[in-house]
Amino acid sequence: MGTNAVIAIVVAIFLALVMVGAAASQGWIHLNLGGSNDNQNHNPISTVGNSTITFSWSYMGTEWTLTETVANASYISYHDLPKTYDYPSYVTKNDAIIVNIAAELKSDAETRGYNNAQFILSFVQNVPYGTDENTTGLSNYPRYPVETLVDHIGDCKDHSFLYVSLMESQPVNVSMVLLQLMPSNGGVGHMAAGIWASGYTGTYFQYDGRDYFYCETTSPGWRIGQMPPQVEGYDVTVLWV
């Protein structure tokens, strides 16, 4: 093998390693904190008609079911948007379906005397978890909340976009942030949400003079303010939405 060929191979390996490092730093690789990792392909949606979404989950010993109808055209309009690393842009608090779902969840919570934020978090935590690679075949595919709902699956960033969108929508109207977490060694990253509200204890991060309490969005059972030990000590970047 000639010198030029050896150099080319070394350069190719170096570039591959750089791309893997960039993937982790940009949130392409996500940590599954205990949720199921469903291996299902991303199915195409018709441009006409509607899709019915149904989610069932348990909260405080009661079984809950949420069913909504989503216009396929709405799904396609998000699906066809360019995918970028501007993660706050994936928060769609004014989308009609997000507003409807937020209003329904808030009403259910208030009827039972539940904490709104914790009840809505339980809904999001029970949306099935799946990596981009397993569900789309792509290394990075951030989903808008409507995509996550119709696809019935998402990773940590998708769950976080959904939760922040629901919480910041008009029916709930709570100040939120996205939390991007990376280990100091540059390994697998994670994304969560932060809530600015009184009455919570535990882990929080300060931004603009406010304390935003950690919200784990990908696995059922985590309470607001509880930070999973797998990500303790990670470097946290607060993304204002």
- H or E element that contains 62: strand 62-71
Where does residue 173 rank: exposed (0-12), middle (13-18), buried (19+ CB within 10 A)? Answer: exposed
Domain locations in the chain? 3-174
CA-to-CA distance for 45 and 41, rounded, in angstroms?
12
What pLDDT, on the 0 to 100 scale, is given for residue 59?
98
Residues 119 and 125: their CA atoms lie apart, in Å, by 10
pLDDT for the residue numbered 47: 74
Q: Would you state the pLDDT for residue 32?
A: 52
**pLDDT for 3:** 42
Cα–Cα distance, 119 to 89 (Å, whole number): 24
At position 140, the amino acid (one-letter code) is: N
Q: Report d(CA 177, CA 168) in Å as an integer.
A: 10
- Amino acid identity at 147: E
pLDDT reported for residue 95: 98
38/87 Cα distance (integer angstroms): 23
CB-based contact 74:97 (threshold 8 Å): yes
- pLDDT tens, per residue, the chain with 241 residues: 554 443 333 333 333 333 333 333 333 334 555 544 444 444 556 778 999 999 999 999 999 999 999 999 999 999 999 999 999 999 999 999 999 999 999 999 999 999 999 999 999 999 999 999 999 988 889 999 999 999 999 999 999 999 999 999 999 999 999 999 999 988 889 999 999 999 999 999 999 999 999 999 999 999 999 999 999 999 999 999 9
HSE value, Cβ hemisphere, 13 Å, CA-based, for 70: 29
The set of residues, in sequence order, having a beta carbon less than 8 Å from that of 98 and lying 6+ positions away, is 92, 145, 146, 165, 166, 169
